[in-house]
Amino acid sequence: MAKYDYDKSVLKGLTTKDFMNQVKVRQSHIDAGSTDEPKSVYGPNIIAKEIHPEYVEGLIVKKIPTPAGCVYIVAPAKEKGFDELPPFRAGQHVTVQLDMPDKYTKRNYCISSAPSAAKGEHGFYQLVVSDHGPGHASEYINNTWQEGSIIRFSAPAGETYYDPIRDSRDVLAIGVGGPSMALCYDIIDGNADVNLFAIVLIPMPALLGLTGIYQDVADKSGGKIGFIPVLLNGEADGVEKGPVTAELLKEYMTDKETGKLKDMTVLLTCPDPICSMIEAELKKLGVPQRRIRKELQGNEGSVFEIPSYPAKRAVKQYSLKVWARGECTTVTCDSDKTIASAVEGAKIRLKTSCRSGHCGMCHTRLISGEYYTPESTDGRRQADKKFGWIHPCCTYPLSDMEIEVFPER
C-alpha cells in the first residue's frame, strides 16, 4: 500500500509554492468580504419565540375575591402588542414580575384554567393567588392588582404536567387546586386520556367549600376524575384528616380488584415542607422516583432546619458585592435568606423562573466567598459547580461574597 493513498491527479499543476501561498490567498478573500454582521433568521427560532416569548403582558379582565384569596382572569394585553397568550401544558406556571415598594421580585402562579381556554385572541389564563398574610407577595398582589391592571409575566414553564410518553395513565394529584384543576379541564376537553384522582389539601374547615369545583369536574368527567379532601388543620365530619401518611396514600393507590398498589404517576403540587413529607411517605410505599413529579415553588422552610447546614445556626449578616452590567452594588444578606432575595432587595431585576434551584434561569457567577446550597435544590451541572456558578434563588451566604448577576433589562 502506498504511503499516501489518494488520487494525486487532482493536484496536477499545483506546486509547493501554491500551497505556501494559501494563507495569503485566503486572507485576501477575507479582506475583500463584507464587514456587515451576517443576519441569521431561522424558522424554528421564530416559532420558538412565539411559543416561548421572553415575557408577556396581560390585562386583568376579572378579579374574583374568595375566602382563601383572589382569582384573576388574565387576557393578552392588546394595547401592549400581545394579541395571544402562549400555549401551556396543564400543570405549568407563569412567573409574575412584582415591582414592590421595597424590592423587585417574582412569584410563580400555576395556571388553573384549561389549556384550550388560552387559545386565540379571546384566550385567557386563570391565576389563583392565595392569601398568605401580611408581608407576603400575595398580600401585595391582592391589594394592588385590579380589573384593568396590566401585569408582566414569563411564558409558561414547569415540569409538573402529565406526559403520555413518560407517565402512567393513572395519575394521583396531591396538593392545592391549580395544576390539577387545569388537568381536570384537559380531561373533560378530551385532550388528556387520564384517570385522575386528586387528594385536595384543605388548610381549615372553613375552606371545605372550595372542593365544590372538584365535584363539578368529577360530575362531568364520566368517571375519569375522583377526589377526596384532606383537612390539614381542624376537624370535620366525614373528611379525611391530615397529614398525608403512607397509610392514607395506600388506601387510595390500591387497586380494589387485585389488592395491589397501582402504578400511578404522582403530581405533587404543594409547597415545602409538606411536599417533602409526602414524598417520604410515597417512598415508604415503594413508589419509584420516576413516578413522582414535583415542583418546589421557592424554599418556604428555614435553612437552619436542614441537617446538612454547615454553620452555627444563628442569623448573621454578610456583605454581598453584586456586579451587574459593569456596576457594583453592595447589599447585606442575612444568613437565613437567599442571595436572590438580597439582590432583589436592591431592586436588581434578577432573571428567575422556578425559584427552587432547578431551571438555571438565575445562573450567577461566583467571584469570591463561601455559600450553602441545600442538596434537594441544587440543580447545577457538575461543570457549573466546578467553574464557580451558583443559583442564588436557593443559595445562602456563609461569608461575605462577591458575585456577578445577569439581570433583565
Shortest distance, position 344 Cβ to ligand FES, whole Å: 12
Dihedral sign for Cα atoms in the order 362, 365, 370, 373: positive
| Piece of 112-120, 222-230, 285-293, 356-364 that binds ligand FES (CB under 6 A) | 356-364
Q: Which of 76, 123, 242, 357 binds ligand FES (CB under 6 A)?
A: 357
d(CA 106, CA 152): 10
Name residues contacting ligand FES, limited to 362-381 (CB under 6 A). Answer: 362
DSSP characters for 160-229? Answer: -S--TTTS-SEEEEEESSHHHHHHHHHHHTTS---EEEEEEEESSGGGGGGGHHHHHHHHHTTTSEEEEE
Half-sphere exposure of residue 389, counting CA atoms within 13 Å on the CB side?
Answer: 15
Q: Which of 157, 354, 366, 401 binds ligand FES (CB under 6 A)?
A: 354
Please, which residues have CB within 8 angstroms of residue 99's CB and are 6 or more apart in sequence?
none
Residue closer to ligand FES (CB basis): 265 or 377: 377
The answer to whether residues 372 and 396 touch, using CB atoms and an 8 Å cutoff, is yes
Q: Which of 72, 358, 366, 373 binds ligand FES (CB under 6 A)?
A: 358
CA 77 to chain centre: 23
Residue 353 is a binding residue for ligand FES (CB under 6 A): yes
Residue 157 is a binding residue for ligand FES (CB under 6 A): no
Residue 339 is a binding residue for ligand FES (CB under 6 A): no
Residue closer to ligand FES (CB basis): 85 or 359: 359
| Cell numbers given for 369 | 466567598
Residue closer to ligand FES (CB basis): 320 or 361: 361
The answer to whether residues 298 and 356 touch, using CB atoms and an 8 Å cutoff, is yes
| Piece of 76-84, 109-117, 186-194, 358-366 that binds ligand FES (CB under 6 A) | 358-366
Shortest distance, position 177 Cβ to ligand FES, whole Å: 23
Shortest distance, position 48 Cβ to ligand FES, whole Å: 19
Helix axes 246-253, 274-284, angle to 10 degrees: 60
| Piece of 130-138, 240-248, 262-270, 349-357 that binds ligand FES (CB under 6 A) | 349-357
- Phi-psi sector, 339: left (phi>0), alpha (psi -120 to 50), beta: alpha
Residue 93 is a binding residue for ligand FES (CB under 6 A): no
Name residues contacting ligand FES, limited to 384-403 (CB under 6 A). Answer: 391, 393
The answer to whether residues 306 and 377 touch, using CB atoms and an 8 Å cutoff, is no
**Residue 150 phi/psi, 5° resolution?**
-100, 130
Nearest CA among 210, 173, 211, 176 for reference residue 192? 173
The answer to whether residues 331 and 388 touch, using CB atoms and an 8 Å cutoff, is no
Shortest distance, position 395 Cβ to ligand FES, whole Å: 9
Q: Give the count of residues interacting with ligand FES (CB under 6 A).
A: 12
Residue 126 is a binding residue for ligand FES (CB under 6 A): no
| Piece of 219-227, 235-243, 341-349, 360-368 that binds ligand FES (CB under 6 A) | 360-368
Residue closer to ligand FES (CB basis): 39 or 409: 409
| Cell numbers given for 273 | 415542607
Q: Which of 129, 275, 296, 361 binds ligand FES (CB under 6 A)?
A: 361
Pairing, β 56-66 against β 150-153: antiparallel
Map residue 400 onto helix, strand or coil: coil
| Cell numbers given for 266 | 404522582
Residue 155 is a binding residue for ligand FES (CB under 6 A): no
Residue 355 is a binding residue for ligand FES (CB under 6 A): yes
Residue closer to ligand FES (CB basis): 14 or 383: 383
Looking at residue 211, its amino acid is T
Residue 296 is a binding residue for ligand FES (CB under 6 A): no
Map residue 317 onto helix, strand or coil: strand
Name residues contacting ligand FES, limited to 237-266 (CB under 6 A). Answer: none
d(CA 109, CA 136): 14
Shortest distance, position 304 Cβ to ligand FES, whole Å: 21
Residue 141: CB atoms within 10 A of its CB come to 22
Pairing, β 69-76 against β 56-66: antiparallel
d(CA 227, CA 218): 8
| Piece of 44-52, 133-141, 238-246, 357-365 that binds ligand FES (CB under 6 A) | 357-365
Q: Which of 97, 160, 341, 352 binds ligand FES (CB under 6 A)?
A: 352
Interaction site with ligand FES (CB under 6 A): 352-355, 357-362, 391, 393
